[in-house]
Amino acid sequence: MPDFIEPDRRRRLREQPIRRPNQWLQKLIQDTRVLYDTNITERIRFSRRGTECLLCRGTRMLCGKSSCPILAHFYSIAKGPSLAVDLSVEGSCPPEIFVGRFGYPKVFIGPMIPPLASDTSMLSTPELWFGKSIQEVIDMRSQLVRGKHLVKIDAPAKGLDRISWMVQELALASSPSDSEMMFTKKPTGTLTLSDNFLPFGPSAPIRSLDTGDYKVVEPIEKCFYDTDLKAEEGVLNSYRAGVRFSAIQRAFSLGVFGEAKRRRFVPTRWSITAVDSIISNTLMREVRRNPLITDYQVYEADNLSNRYLVLMMPDTWRYEWIEAWYPKTAWNPGAETVIYADHEPFQGRTTYSDMGGCYYSVRLAAAEKLSQLGRQAGVVALREAYPGYILPVGVWHAREGIRAALRSTPRKFSDLKEALNHISTRLKIPLEGWIETSALLRQALYQTKLSSFIR
C-alpha cells in the first residue's frame, strides 16, 4: 500500500469486512466491482498526478485518519442556523427521499420534508439548478429534514411495512405532497455534504409518517405495476418517455423498477451511478452505429466556479473525463493544481472508474448529445475547478454543466491543432498539462491510423 497509509490503518483496511450489493444490483452495474475492493488503495499510485483526497472524497479514509478533515472544513464553512424542528415536521415533500448505505443489507430509508407549505418541487430537481450559486443550493437543500426508517433492502420483494410503503409511493410522485413526519427524537445535524449525492439538512428516526395527495409520473407508475418488467427496461422506458433523470433515480432507489421478486432498495449514491450507467450504456450502443461527425467541435459552459469544455473529434466513439482542481478547492487541500483523468475505448470499460460518479454522469451527457445528433465521435470532456468551488454538492453539477455546454453553439475547426489552440485560450492551465494527462489527446496527436495509408 502507499506510504501515506499508516501501518495500523493498512491492516484495518485489509481486515475490515466489505458489504457487497446483491447480485441483482451487480448485474445492473457490471463495471462497479472496484467500489467494493478492499485493495482499492493499491490503485492510487497509478493515478496521473492525483492525490488520495480526490480518490477518496471522504468515503474510504485513505489518509488513515478516523474522520475526514476536509469534510470537517466543509461543515465549518457551510454551518448555518439549525432548523427549528422539534419532534415533528409538517410541510410539502418535494418529493425527495434518501436511501443510506451504512449497515447494508439493512439500510435507512425515508423522505425529506421541509417545514414549508408551498411548491417545493425545485428542492428535488437539480436539472433546474444550472446557474445557481453554491450558497443558493445549500440554502435550498438545508431546509430538508430527513426521516430514517430501518429496513432490509429486499423488502420491496418480500413485503413493506406502512412507513416503507408510503416512502416508496413518494417515488411515483411528480408534485409535492402535504406531509407530516413525527420522530422518536429531535433531528440532529445542520447539513450533510457529499460529492456523490445532494446535500440535505438534519435527520432523525421516524415514529410515524402521513402523506397527502399528489400527481404521479405516469411512465414510472406504469413500470411500477408491470411486475414482469426488468429494472433496466423500466429505467430506459421512463427515460425514453421524457422523465427527468432525478425522478428515474429516485424511483430506482426505492425499488419501483424490476421483476416483483427481484425488487430492492438501492442506496442513493449507488443508484445515481447505476442509472447514469444504464442509460449511457444503451445510448453508446446506438451511437457506435452512427456515422462520424465531420469536423472538430468545442463546446463550453461555466457553473459553480467550474469551467467545462467538451471536445468532439471525427473519430469512433471513445470517451475521456479530465478534471483539474486548483488549490483550496473541494478535495484539493494542497498547494498545487492537480490534474487527473480516466477514459474508455470504443468497446467501453469493465472496471469502475477511480474518478467516481462524475465520470458516468458526464458520459451520459456526452452520449445524449451524440444520440440527438445521430452521429458518432471521440469525446474529451475537460473541467477546471476554481477556488470558488469550496463545497461538494453532488455529481449532478457535472452532468448539468456538460449538458449546458452541449446545448451551446459549438466552435468548429478543420483540424485538431486548431481546436486545441482555441481550447488553450479558454482554459487557465497550459495545454501541455492537458495533453500530458490525456490518453485520447495523445493518441489523436501522435498515433498514426491505418486509414491514413488507404487512398
Span 80-104, pLDDT tens digits: 555 667 899 999 999 999 999 999 9
- Predicted confidence at residue 291, as pLDDT, reads 98
> Is the Cα torsion angle 217, 218, 221, 227 positive or negative in sign?
negative
* Average pLDDT, rounded, for the chain: 86
| 49 against 339, higher pLDDT | 339
Q: Is beta strand 378-385 parallel, antiparallel or unpaired with respect to 203-211? A: unpaired
- Predicted confidence at residue 24, as pLDDT, reads 44
Query: 211, 178 in Cβ contact below 8 A?
Result: yes
At residue 42 the predicted structure's pLDDT band, cuts being 50, 70 and 90, is very low
Give the 3-state secondary structure of residue 332. Answer: strand
User: Would you list the DSSP string of 231-258?
Assistant: HHHHHHHHHHTT--HHHHHHHHHTT-SS
- Predicted confidence at residue 67, as pLDDT, reads 62
Query: 29, 279 in Cβ contact below 8 A?
Result: no
Model confidence at 44: pLDDT above 50: no
User: Would you list the DSSP string of 70-100?
Assistant: HHHHHHHHH--PPP---SEEEEEE-S-EEE-
Residue 328 CA from chain centroid, whole number: 22
Convert the pLDDT of each residue in 306-323 to its tens digit: 999 999 999 999 999 999
**300 C-beta neighbours (distance < 10 Å), count:** 20
Instruction: Quote the cell numbers at residue 378.
Output: 471521440
- Predicted confidence at residue 86, as pLDDT, reads 87
Convert the pLDDT of each residue in 55-64 to its tens digit: 777 666 666 5
At residue 14 the predicted structure's pLDDT band, cuts being 50, 70 and 90, is very low
Query: 321, 377 in Cβ contact below 8 A?
Result: no
- Predicted confidence at residue 126, as pLDDT, reads 96
Convert the pLDDT of each residue in 277-306 to its tens digit: 999 999 999 999 999 999 999 999 999 999
Instruction: Quote the cell numbers at residue 182.
Output: 413525527
Instruction: Quote the cell numbers at residue 85.
Output: 424542528
Could you give the CA distance from residue 287 to residue 252 in angstroms, rounded to a whole number? 25
The most confident of the ranges 54-63, 64-73, 435-444 is: 435-444
Query: 256, 171 in Cβ contact below 8 A?
Result: yes
Residue at grid coordinates 477518496: 56
Q: In what order do the strands lie in the sheet with 88-93?
A: 88-93, 177-183, 203-211, 145-152, 106-113, 97-99
Stretch 376-383: mean pLDDT: 98
From the list 149, 130, 161, the residue with the least C-alpha distance to 303 is: 130
**199 C-beta neighbours (distance < 10 Å), count:** 21
Q: 290: burial class by Cβ within 10 Å (0-12, 13-18, 19+)?
A: middle
- Predicted confidence at residue 82, as pLDDT, reads 59
- Predicted confidence at residue 18, as pLDDT, reads 40
Q: Where are the domains of the chain?
A: 7-78, 80-282, 296-453
Q: Is beta strand 411-413 parallel, antiparallel or unpaired with respect to 338-344? A: unpaired
- Predicted confidence at residue 80, as pLDDT, reads 56
- The CA-atom distances, in angstroms, between 447 and each of 25, 74, 116, 451 are 39, 44, 59, 12
CA triple 250-283-46, angle to 5 deg:
85
Stretch 109-130: mean pLDDT: 95
Beta-bridge partner residues of 340: 323
Query: 185, 127 in Cβ contact below 8 A?
Result: no
Phi, psi (rounded to 5 degrees) for 90: -130, 130
Query: 62, 56 in Cβ contact below 8 A?
Result: yes
Instruction: Quote the cell numbers at residue 51.
Output: 492525490
Stretch 323-331: mean pLDDT: 86
Stretch 130-142: mean pLDDT: 90
Model confidence at 29: pLDDT above 50: no
Helices and strands in the chain, H and E counts = 16, 12
Stretch 3-32: mean pLDDT: 45
Convert the pLDDT of each residue in 334-363 to its tens digit: 788 889 899 999 999 989 998 889 999 999
Convert the pLDDT of each residue in 164-210 to its tens digit: 999 999 999 999 999 999 999 999 887 888 888 898 999 999 999 99
Look at phi and psi of residue 374 and say left if phi exceeds 0, alpha if psi is from -120 to 50, else beta. left
- Predicted confidence at residue 191, as pLDDT, reads 81
Stretch 42-67: mean pLDDT: 56
Convert the pLDDT of each residue in 204-247 to its tens digit: 999 999 999 999 999 999 999 999 999 999 999 999 999 999 99
Model confidence at 47: pLDDT above 50: no
| % of the chain beyond a pLDDT of 70 | 81
Could you give the CA distance from residue 88 to residue 271 in angstroms, rounded to a whole number? 28
- Predicted confidence at residue 53, as pLDDT, reads 76
The residues near 347 (Cβ < 8 Å, ≥ 6 apart) are none
- Predicted confidence at residue 391, as pLDDT, reads 84
- Predicted confidence at residue 52, as pLDDT, reads 72
> Among 37-41, 342-346, 372-376, 445-449, which stretch is predicted with the lowest mean pLDDT?
37-41
Could you give the CA distance from residue 128 to residue 151 in angstroms, rounded to a whole number? 32
- The CA-atom distances, in angstroms, between 35 and each of 30, 56, 236, 351 are 11, 11, 24, 9
Model confidence at 50: pLDDT above 80: no
- Predicted confidence at residue 375, as pLDDT, reads 98
User: Would you list the DSSP string of 272-297?
Assistant: HHHHHHHHHHHHHHHHTTSPBPSSEE
- Predicted confidence at residue 49, as pLDDT, reads 44
Instruction: Quote the cell numbers at residue 193.
Output: 455534504
Residue 331 CA from chain centroid, whole number: 16
Phi, psi (rounded to 5 degrees) for 184: -80, -20
Stretch 419-435: mean pLDDT: 95
Stretch 15-39: mean pLDDT: 42
Query: 271, 252 in Cβ contact below 8 A?
Result: yes
Q: In what order do the strands lie in the sheet with 378-385?
A: 338-344, 318-325, 378-385, 306-313, 296-303, 411-413
At residue 43 the predicted structure's pLDDT band, cuts being 50, 70 and 90, is very low
Could you give the CA distance from residue 105 to residue 225 in angstroms, rounded to a whole number? 25
